[in-house]
Amino acid sequence: MITALTVNYNTPDVLDRLLSSFRKYYDIPFLVIDGSDSDNYKKIIRLKRKYEVKIIHFPYNIHHGPGMAFGIKYIQTEKILLLDSDLIVLNGGFVEDLESKLRADAYGIGDIQNVNERGLNVPEGIKYIHPACTLINREIVLKFPLPASHGAPMIYAMRTIHDKELSDDLLIHEPWITNDFRKSRKKFIIHDWKGTVDKTVGYHFDNR
């Protein structure tokens, strides 16, 4: 079984758009980790019944990485579909496609990028699975560092996997996700890459 997971901060309209597009095709469990202020949360809580989702609210900005980490620990299904809140689903079939390709011994399947130690894109480097649209095996993910408050929230897990020389074994690249992230002709999803970043005033890095 799969549970979908997204993290939201002060963007009820963006979250509404995601849930509306997702529910056109899927009725699977959906968990929203929300760190919005009280005014925005009043709008967000209305989406709970509208789309039959579970919302866990924090009275502060929990940030994307820690929000995902909380959700991964909270959810009990074997697989978790990570989705950015500013994503739009165009067509059904993508969850089934990812599930059919995700091996039981893999960390996850998604868009694999090359990043440096800080999580910045480089031509060659650490293989990084982008959580904007990624299907993960929960038990495997829990064996590695969980997402953190960072511009590249999966970086600590990816660095550990890289150091153990397990990237090719644990990370599965899905070309259609890369296409839909970057090309004009999209198959399943649209991602505008800025919904929550605009609200949080950029990316956050640390020196771990």
pLDDT value for 200: 41
Tokens of 152: 């590249």
Tokens 């929990």 -> residue: 62
- pLDDT tens for 43-56 read 999 999 999 999 99
Look up residue 121 and give its DSSP letter. Answer: B
Per-residue pLDDT band at 194 (split at 50, 70, 90): low
pLDDT value for 39: 97
Closest CA to 170 of 126, 206, 201, 123: 126
Q: How many CB atoms lie within 10 A of CB 73?
A: 12
Q: Enumerate the domain spans of the chain.
A: 2-192
Q: What is the pTM of this model?
A: 0.93
Give me the phi and psi of 58, to 5 degrees please.
Answer: -110, 135
Residues ≥6 apart with Cβ < 8 Å to 157: 107, 141, 144, 145, 146, 147
Q: Which DSSP string do the residues of 6-17 spell out, in sequence order?
A: EEESS-HHHHHH
Is CATH 3.90.550.10 the right assignment for the domain spanning 2-192?
A: yes
Residue type, 82: L
Tokens of 16: 């509404």
Closest CA to 129 of 141, 185, 139: 141
Residue 115, classed as helix, strand or coil, is: strand
pLDDT value for 195: 54
Residue 131, classed as helix, strand or coil, is: coil
pLDDT value for 204: 43
Residues ≥6 apart with Cβ < 8 Å to 14: 8, 85, 86, 195, 196
- pLDDT tens for 138-148 read 999 999 999 99
Tokens of 90: 């165009």
pLDDT exceeding 90 applies to what percent of the chain? 91
For the segment 53-62, the average pLDDT, to the nearest whole number, is: 97
- pLDDT tens for 19-42 read 999 999 999 999 999 999 999 999
- pLDDT tens for 80-135 read 999 999 999 999 999 999 999 999 999 999 999 999 999 999 999 999 999 999 99
